[in-house]
Structure 1
């Protein structure tokens, strides 16, 4: 079965997380991704744990299905090889600090003179222009500058980083989305284009109603823990042996919850008769719900609430979600055979396509594994000795 991006060739100048996750998504869909790595050490994440037989699990997950070539970007002959590769490439993706690729002569303006159909994506902390564009950034900086840290955590504690690298991951997703849009545009017009993705922009775009609460009502959202800013009950609640989530976002669901709790009159209480009123009296409502929950274990409460048609769940730990039957059925953990590490379980792809399902054919490459295979083709054309 053919994959949707089977004829697409990607030159991958990325490292660490945002860029490699983007190009991994393209490789999952069948693109030929050629990862250009620093000789001797390669991508920084080759040195990140956890390790299996001295191979990085971090790198293995992010770089599955790619080819690796070692090229020193300070070597003019390496640049010449890259420019030959560009002639046949469809996509270039990089995540250096703005200006680095221009100094190397590998920026969009230079490469589109070689191949006017090239789609070129740059991922950086603050974008390619703007007063902060030259600032260095990692995910924590993006979460802080993008506004997410200010609304994450509890009011009585300092701002908190979200538990996953959302700055990197959201930028990767937007970059992959941008590449798809640009390739579709190219199919219609024949022309490539440039894509500028900033981690801070990506985080900011995820703030949804928090931004609108400020722009419309001039309310500055604050840290409120796990509860929802405009709906209640929508929080984490204590049962008799642990914590559960209950998510009620409208009056109909609240009426159902009242019936489940055996207290249909609760919805007539003026404090809880509307979503806005419930949010204003959230602490009182939470006390009533948690008092009711003391008669149930987490498992019993979740089953009872779900059966009544109200969204509820336990709070799974990483080991629990990894071992969960739903995770297995959805193929969100897959086992790969790495030539050095051996069998390793890595995250699957969440995009489930009916006609062209994701097929992850190859593990992550060894450093420089495909250097000779790829470069030999171009040495004959250019008489380059590298």
Structure 2
């Protein structure tokens, strides 16, 4: 089956998660992603546990559908090899500290001279400009600085980070979107360009209604635990066996919810009739609902609410997620061969097309796994030349 980016070559110098996960999305869409690391390794994510036979499961989660080569970009010979690769590439993706690529002689201005149509995407914590441009950027730090932690957690508890690297994940998607947009612009206008992705920018843009409430009204959103600042009931309720999330997004859904609970009169009560009333009387309504929800198991409530189209769902642990019948039906786990692990189970790309494939074509590569093959096939080097380059420390 065809893939959208079959003719696109991406040189990926990025490390950890935001950059690699972004290039992985493009690899899923058919791009030839060449992962470049130093001969001794560049990516600290390989050291992050848990491991399967010395392979980091964290690394495996962000690097499928890529080939891997090693080049010493600090050596002159290594730089020359990199320049040769750039001549036929469409994109260079990097997430070194701001200014590092320029100091190496590999910045956008230098690469543009080699390939005028090259697209260079730089992913950093704070961006290429501004007083914090030199600061290192790590997901939990950006969750803190960018306001996400301040609106996450219990009202009386401390600010809490989200349990997943959501700033990295969102940044990886913006990375993929920006590269696709730059490729489209190059196809239209014949020019490459430089892309500046800042994790802080991404986090600030994700504040959504919280940002709008402040910018338009000066309203500072508060931590609400599993509740919602502006909608009631939109929260977790404890059932007989486990918690259930209920999200009544409008008055009609609330009215139906009340019917399922056996309390239709609540939807006509002036204290609860409209969402504004319910927000004002949040505590009283929540206590009333809690006393009823604990009388049944979460799945029992889900079945009743689902039948009436009231949004709800049990709070599943990760084991339960992958045992969920819908997750299984959507085939969200794919097992692929791996050179040292036999087979690995990976989460599939969620994109579904009628005429394109997004399946896993290549396992997450070992460090430098494709160096010899790539230099032979793409640059036409002989085995003798490659061995010489290894001895020099260039690859």
After TM superposition, the score normalised by the length of structure 2 is 0.94
Verify the 8 A CA contact 2:2 2:357 in the aligned structure 1.
no
Could you list the per-position Cα deviations for residues 163-194 of structure 1 after superposition, in whole angstroms to 9, with x for gaps in the alignment? 10011111111010000111111111111111
Does residue 46 (structure 1) correspond to residue 49 (structure 2)? The answer is no
Q: How many residues align?
A: 385
Q: Secondary structure at the match of 1:62?
A: coil
Does residue 238 (structure 1) correspond to residue 238 (structure 2)? The answer is yes
Could you list the per-position Cα deviations for residues 274-332 of structure 1 after superposition, in whole angstroms to 9, with x for gaps in the alignment? 11110111111111111121221111111111111100110000111022221122122
Does residue 378 (structure 1) correspond to residue 379 (structure 2)? The answer is yes
| Structure 2 match to 1:339 | 339
Does residue 326 (structure 1) correspond to residue 326 (structure 2)? The answer is yes
In 2, Cα distance between the equivalents of 1:321 and 1:188?
43
Verify the 8 A CA contact 2:349 2:359 in the aligned structure 1.
no
Distance 1:379 1:78, change over 3 A: farther
User: How many Å apart are 1:378 and its aligned residue?
Assistant: 2.9
Verify the 8 A CA contact 1:36 1:71 in the aligned structure 2.
yes
Gaps of 5+ in 1: none
Q: Secondary structure at the match of 1:68?
A: strand
User: How many Å apart are 1:116 and its aligned residue?
Assistant: 1.4
In 1, Cα distance between the equivalents of 2:341 and 2:285?
52
In 1, Cα distance between the equivalents of 2:224 and 2:307?
29
Verify the 8 A CA contact 1:54 1:341 in the aligned structure 2.
no
User: How many Å apart are 1:375 and its aligned residue?
Assistant: 2.4
In 2, Cα distance between the equivalents of 1:207 and 1:253?
26
Does residue 66 (structure 1) correspond to residue 69 (structure 2)? The answer is no
In 1, Cα distance between the equivalents of 2:361 and 2:191?
31
User: How many Å apart are 1:56 and its aligned residue?
Assistant: 2.0
In 1, Cα distance between the equivalents of 2:66 and 2:330?
24
In 1, Cα distance between the equivalents of 2:115 and 2:11?
13
User: How many Å apart are 1:379 and its aligned residue?
Assistant: 6.4
After TM superposition, the score normalised by the length of structure 1 is 0.96
Does residue 201 (structure 1) correspond to residue 204 (structure 2)? The answer is no
| Structure 1 match to 2:249 | 249
Aligned Cα root-mean-square deviation (Å): 1.5
| Structure 1 match to 2:19 | 19
In 2, Cα distance between the equivalents of 1:189 and 1:331?
39
Does residue 106 (structure 1) correspond to residue 106 (structure 2)? The answer is yes
| Structure 2 match to 1:56 | 56
Q: Secondary structure at the match of 1:121?
A: strand
Verify the 8 A CA contact 1:278 1:285 in the aligned structure 2.
yes
Which moves more between the two structures, 120-129 or 361-370? 361-370
Verify the 8 A CA contact 2:73 2:82 in the aligned structure 1.
no
